[in-house]
């Protein structure tokens, strides 16, 4: 049970309702905690999202990937009566991370007290401002409907 069938449907352009049907969650030891296991295909979705953010104005179909990703997660949560979603993403500057951060109500950046983490936090603080501006411009240039709009 992984997120792979769902990711494949999102990449193929399925709507969120269709994509969410394959979003199987796995119970863990805590009765109120569930896991939607990741997949190596997340990197393909990340690549698609990064591309979509850059060229959706020329190829509007790519915008469906962005619309459907978070709508699919929201539907999976709703179908399973889940109140909070925690996304564990790779520590990278990518389209998926950009969207996840701009879509989130809050985010956690695990660090340790060392020089490299301090540099990373400084870099991330600059990137968040850049991403905010890019998402704003993206929204102006497209009519993509997404929960992303609540951030602005």
Main-chain phi, psi angles of 144, to 5 degrees: -70, 125
Give residue-wise pLDDT tens across range 73-114.
888 888 888 888 888 877 777 888 887 877 778 888 888 889
Give residue-wise pLDDT tens across range 21-80.
766 777 788 888 888 777 777 787 788 788 777 776 656 666 677 777 778 888 888 888
**Where in the sequence is the domain holding 21, given as residue range(s)?**
4-151
Residue closest to 49 by CA, chosen among 100, 88, 85, 6: 100
- Kindly report the average pLDDT of the chain as a whole number: 77
Give the chain's domain count. Answer: 1
Q: What per-residue confidence (pLDDT) applies to 62?
A: 65
Judged by DSSP in three states, 35 sits in: strand
pTM of the model: 0.69
């Amino acid at each position: 049970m992984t997120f792979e069938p769902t990711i494949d449907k999102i990449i193929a352009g399925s709507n969120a309702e269709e994509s969410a049907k394959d979003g199987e969650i796995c119970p863990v030891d805590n009765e109120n905690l569930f896991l939607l296991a990741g997949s190596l295909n997340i990197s393909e979705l990340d690549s698609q999202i990064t591309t979509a953010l850059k060229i959706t104005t020329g190829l509007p179909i790519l915008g469906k990937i962005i619309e459907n990703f978070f709508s699919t997660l929201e539907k999976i949560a709703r179908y399973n009566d889940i109140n909070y979603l925690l996304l564990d993403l790779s520590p990278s500057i990518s389209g998926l991370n950009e969207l996840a951060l701009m879509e989130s109500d809050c985010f956690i950046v695990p660090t340790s007290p060392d020089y490299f983490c301090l540099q990373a936090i400084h870099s991330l603080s600059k990137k968040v401002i850049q991403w905010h501006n890019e998402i704003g411009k993206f929204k102006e240039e497209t009519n993509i409907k997404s929960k992303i709009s609540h951030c602005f």
